[in-house]
Chains A and B, each alone.
Chain A
Amino acid sequence: MADQDGKKIKDPLTGVETTGHVWDDNIREFDNPLPRWWLWAFYMSVIFTLWYWVVYPAWPSGLLEKGYTLGTKTITYDSDAGETKTTHWNTRALLAHQMQTNKSELIRQKMVKEIAETPFDTIAADPQQSKFVLAYGKSIFGDYCAACHQRGGQGVIGHYPNLIDDAWLWGSDVSDIETSIRKGRKGNMPAHKGSLTADEIEQAAHYVLSLSKQSSDVVAIEKGKAIFNTKGCSGCHMPTAMGMKALGSANLTDHIWTQADVNGTDDAGKKLAAVKQVITEGIQREMPAWESRLKDDEIKILVSYIKLLSQN
């Protein structure tokens, strides 16, 4: 401690006391006190902590019934059974309380209940209700449905159906859409690589394309038509090739394609290849059942949302 003279002299310029350390003969260190505002803030936070410990549940203790101090605040909420309960402050009771009293939550609940009790046609005709359905449905759709059917409901060719075109595999009525959502759907077209030869698949594909006037190979179309009607295609797609709602089989006569990307190319060869691919490999796809996951009023809003989307 040779460099310490122990003298806490005051700095002549600022008047601040030094620590008594001296380096290199004349360098000294200020001993500034903590800023007064900082010190007071520190004391106040200590006092706040003591208050908080008392008011909110904080201290664990084996001597108490709950195993910790309960604080002084209470929350009142209604149980699902309709009983009014009061309990010590906790976040779970707070959530229940807010879901029952919060102003915007109550408006939300009122609107949702209103939609649930209104037939779709009335909703579609009412600007306020349809505006609510479009806004609220968008968030439910975005969370649960958009993962497959995409944000705008346009689907993914080959995987997930488009919900905003005019074609419905499983029916377009409100009740059909509701059933699709509640119970889910299993789309199943068998693979035909075992039951048809490569030539037969090609001919059937020509016929299928000819239904929407996209093939002109008369010979192949004629043979394909026979295959379509005798080798099982017409069993699901019907002799008219218009599809069947009960099986979710597609209408092959319109210009809407959800599996084979026929519209995505102008090249006749590629169109043919896309249809052949579907006939060869078949289709296995599944829409999950949402009944146990979504609430009834949410399903109602979703159905109305999808109907409004497809009508707009």
Chain B
Amino acid sequence: MLKHESIETNAVLLIVLTLVAISIGGLVEIVPLFYIEGTIEDVKRADGKDAVRPYTPLEQVGRDIYIREGCYNCHSQMIRPFRDEALRYGHYSLAAESQYDHPFQWGSKRTGPDLARVGGKYSSSWHVKHLNKPKSVVPESIMPNYPWLLKTDLDFSDVQAKMKTLKKVGVPYSQTKEEYAANVEQFGEDVAKMLDVNHAESNLMAQEKAKNFDGIPDRITEMDALVAYLQVLGTMIDFSKHDETEFIEFR
């Protein structure tokens, strides 16, 4: 029988067996990734287009601020299929809903509440007050203040570069006419326009002007971008239009 002593005193054998052990662990994590296509739900809107879309330029820049400020340290974006979470947060998160997230914001360690469906839950002006000074609206909150978001003008000079980078990892932003046409096919024209890298800056400014998330009409602040991102979270799928079976059968 192979004794520990014979492994410990034979460097070659030790290296070979260590590699075998590590490979098993690696395979268990890597092999399932080749079957990931089948785990992302195919959710369509009533008009037959994809319900989940990539973020608009403004939302994407807001998402980068979310990550920069470390919001993920306290907030997850993953509602698990448990009764208590269904009652509190709403429908459990689908894989499809984070398919364009790089990196995704899943997690189960929460200091603050889960944000997967925070979009539309509060008014934008509430978000502005809350991010600026959480205790002003939620006295018992332990969330820190983020006063610089309102003071700092949004730097979106690199928004095209960001979108091109995300495109490289599979987010369908469009640069050519063919890619644009494919997006029209997949998401519909209104969404496809927002995903066009060539018009990223004007799209960003137009969305800010239309919604004016921060309540300041003549400036585009970091607050605008972050609130735009928060307000879209979890809102892309209208669950009342889907039979639960549809999602169960994806498992």
Interface residues of A (CB under 8 A from B): 60, 62, 66-68, 77, 79-81, 83, 85, 87, 90-96, 98-99, 102, 105, 139, 143-144, 146-148, 150-151, 156, 159-160, 284-288, 292-293
Residues of A within 8 A of B215 (CB): 284
Residue of A with least CB distance to B140: A151
Interface residues of B (CB under 8 A from A): 31-32, 34-35, 38, 80-83, 86, 88, 92, 120-123, 125-126, 129-130, 136-140, 215, 238, 240, 243-245, 247-251
Q: In the complex, what distance in Å separates the CA atom of A77 from the CA atom of B249?
A: 12
Within the complex, which residue of A67, A96, A146 is in contact with B248, where a contact is CB–CB below 8 Å?
A96
Cβ–Cβ contact B251 & A92, under 8 A: yes
Q: Nearest-CB distance from B59 to chain A (Å)?
A: 19
Residues of B within 8 A of A62 (CB): 34-35
Residues of A within 8 A of B126 (CB): 147-148
Q: Nearest-CB distance from B93 to chain A (Å)?
A: 11
Within the complex, which residue of A60, A85, A87 is in contact with B35, where a contact is CB–CB below 8 Å?
A60
Cβ–Cβ contact B81 & A95, under 8 A: yes
Q: In the complex, what distance in Å separates the CA atom of A191 from the CA atom of B32?
A: 60
Residues of A within 8 A of B249 (CB): 87
Residues of A within 8 A of B245 (CB): 79-81, 83, 85
Q: In the complex, what distance in Å separates the CA atom of A81 from the CA atom of B244?
A: 9
Which of B38, B92, B245: most chain A Cβ within 10 A?
B245
Q: In the complex, what distance in Å separates the CA atom of A81 from the CA atom of B125?
A: 39
Q: Nearest-CB distance from A301 to chain B (Å)?
A: 12
Cβ–Cβ contact B248 & A66, under 8 A: no
Which of B34, B88, B249: most chain A Cβ within 10 A?
B249
Main secondary structure of the interface of A (DSSP, over half): mixed
Residues of A within 8 A of B130 (CB): 147
Q: Nearest-CB distance from B38 to chain A (Å)?
A: 5
Asked if A92 meets B120 with Cβ closer than 8 Å, knowing A80-B243, A99-B86, A147-B130, the reply is no
Which of B35, B122, B244: most chain A Cβ within 10 A?
B244
> 7 A-B residue contacts at CB 8 Å?
A66-B38, A67-B35, A77-B248, A80-B244, A147-B121, A288-B120, A288-B123
Cβ–Cβ contact A60 & B123, under 8 A: no
Cβ–Cβ contact A285 & B125, under 8 A: yes
Cβ–Cβ contact A96 & B88, under 8 A: no
Asked if A95 meets B35 with Cβ closer than 8 Å, knowing A156-B137, A287-B123, the reply is no
Asked if A60 meets B243 with Cβ closer than 8 Å, knowing A90-B251, A148-B126, A148-B137, the reply is no
Residue of A with least CB distance to B86: A95
Asked if A92 meets B92 with Cβ closer than 8 Å, knowing A147-B130, A288-B122, the reply is yes
Residues of B within 8 A of A285 (CB): 125
Q: In the complex, what distance in Å separates the CA atom of A67 from the CA atom of B31?
A: 11
Q: Nearest-CB distance from A302 to chain B (Å)?
A: 14
Cβ–Cβ contact B35 & A96, under 8 A: no
Asked if A92 meets B247 with Cβ closer than 8 Å, knowing A147-B126, A147-B137, A148-B126, the reply is yes
Cβ–Cβ contact A87 & B248, under 8 A: yes
Q: Nearest-CB distance from B150 to chain A (Å)?
A: 16
Q: In the complex, what distance in Å separates the CA atom of A143 from the CA atom of B99?
A: 27
Cβ–Cβ contact A90 & B35, under 8 A: no
Q: In the complex, what distance in Å separates the CA atom of A102 from the CA atom of B136?
A: 40
Residue of B with least CB distance to A151: B140
Residues of B within 8 A of A93 (CB): 248, 251
Q: Nearest-CB distance from B250 to chain A (Å)?
A: 8
Q: Nearest-CB distance from A90 to chain B (Å)?
A: 4
Cβ–Cβ contact A95 & B92, under 8 A: yes
Cβ–Cβ contact B137 & A92, under 8 A: no
Residue of B with least CB distance to A77: B248
Q: In the complex, what distance in Å separates the CA atom of A92 from the CA atom of B123?
A: 31
Q: Nearest-CB distance from A206 to chain B (Å)?
A: 30
Cβ–Cβ contact B129 & A159, under 8 A: yes
Residue of A with least CB distance to B250: A92
Within the complex, which residue of B83, B92, B137 is in contact with A105, where a contact is CB–CB below 8 Å?
B83
Cβ–Cβ contact B139 & A102, under 8 A: no
3 shortest interchain CB distances as A-B pairs: A90-B251, A79-B245, A95-B81
Residues of B within 8 A of A96 (CB): 244, 248
Residues of B within 8 A of A94 (CB): 81
Within the complex, which residue of B82, B125, B238 is in contact with A95, where a contact is CB–CB below 8 Å?
B82
